[in-house]
Amino acid sequence: MSNNADISRDKLLSDFKVVISDAEELLKLTAGQAGDKLGEVRNRLGDRMLAAKDRIADMEAAAVERAKKVAHATDDYVQKNPWQSVGIAAGVAFLLGLLAGRR
């Protein structure tokens, strides 16, 4: 998955958490209001917010699990190919040094 997709997903999750927080605050502020329709809407909104929170938690857990798999795969590669890993790291450091030196 690309870095832009990860950033977009993180931004979406962040925005969604803000919306949920605002909706929870709205529910608290209207808790004392009477009316069958308002109570029904509040209950529906509360149920949907709980479901949304569960989905966010699942998405975050999946992202953490993917990150762990990538870390383990990288660790396994480095363990199996230490000299190649050192060479790659040295090459990347050299290129970064060249780029930084041009500024």
pLDDT in tens, 1-17: 456 767 777 777 777 88
Q: Is the pTM of this model over 0.85?
A: no
Q: Which residue has the tokens 């953490």?
A: 64
Helices (H), 1-103: 3-29, 36-80, 82-101
Kindly report, residue by residue over 45-64, the tens digit of the pLDDT.
Answer: 778 888 888 888 888 888 88
